[in-house]
Amino acid sequence: VLESADIAGHVSAEVAALTGLRAGTPVVAGLFDVVASAVGSGVTRTGAASVIAGTWSINQVITDEPIRDPSIFMLSTFDRQRYLAIESSATSAANLEWIVREFLEHRGEAGKSPFELCSELVASVDPNSDIPIYHPFLYGSQQNGHARAGFYGIAGWHSRAHLLRALFEGVAFEHKRHVETLHRAGADFDQVVLSGGGSRSSVWPQIFADVLGVPVTVARSRETGALGAAIAAGTGVGIFADYSAGAAAMTAAARHFVPNEAVADAYSGRYRLYGEINQAMTPMWERIAGQQART
């Protein structure tokens, strides 16, 4: 069994002819994609957290010892000595992609993408105001495959901006639920590096910082997985001593966000409601799933 930065072989003459790669080029074993994203976002020290707001909600913390807690979604090796405790589900920025595709894609304003418009609308709503609750369960949840997405508490005075902010918050709330599972299992951290499509928003990283209650840094690279794979390759051929050296040379932070204490109580209250509604809806989701199975 090879380590991720071990050389697995070399490019053959046949492959060189097919790809244009130089024959004899070393081929490194490579990384699990979410581990590569952690490395490519600059997360390489024990106790550091990588949060990826993409199609999936990925929440991972580097630990010195393997965490053998059955509540954790999965455990992966990080390097020869350390591990990644990972909590994950299909509950992240894919929710915004669906909303944009189905309702907003053809309503963008001149010179703005629909995603930019969404961020501007979210920014226009005070986090301390009356905001509905959103469950980001378009594709079920880790806890319950029958869970479904939904807005709760919509009133006539709410606008599309309120609903979009509810969606942004709901995604962050589900990341927080995963993070709390990691904390309970002993995977603690004091800072987050955020990557994935959600990190490109002008407002979402601040929501993450406020909801998680820790500083959030946004990785400069938009393709952290590819960059992490390149760092692994560089480590394998001796350009870098280890992943930390490679990340120090090839990664950087784009933006920094700190929690805003003025909105902490509002987010705390809505997060409690988020969880309570989740519990209350569980039997309804089971009934809905039964109905959907018959149609």
Tell me, rounded to whole angstroms, the distance of Cα 59 from its chain centroid: 6
Percent of the chain residues past pLDDT 90, beyond the cut:
92
Q: 295 pLDDT band (50/70/90 cuts)?
A: low
What pLDDT shows up at residue 14? 98
Contacting residues for 135 by C-beta, under 8 A, at least 6 apart: 147, 148, 149, 150, 152, 170, 174, 274, 277, 278, 281
Domains in the chain with CATH codes: 34-225+253-293 (3.30.420.40)
> CA separation (Å) from 47 to 20, 191, 236?
41, 9, 24
Integer Cα distance of 42 and 246 in angstroms: 9
Contacting residues for 123 by C-beta, under 8 A, at least 6 apart: 202, 203
Least reliable range by pLDDT among 9-18, 23-32, 100-109: 100-109
Structure tokens at 96: 């915004």
**Which whole number is the average pLDDT over 272-287?**
97
What pLDDT shows up at residue 187? 97
pTM of the model: 0.94
220-261 residue pLDDT tens = 999 999 999 999 999 999 999 999 999 999 999 999 999 999
Asked if residue 104 has pLDDT above 90, the reply is no
Q: 101 pLDDT band (50/70/90 cuts)?
A: very high
What pLDDT shows up at residue 107? 64
Asked if residue 111 has pLDDT above 80, the reply is no
| Mean pLDDT estimate for the chain | 95
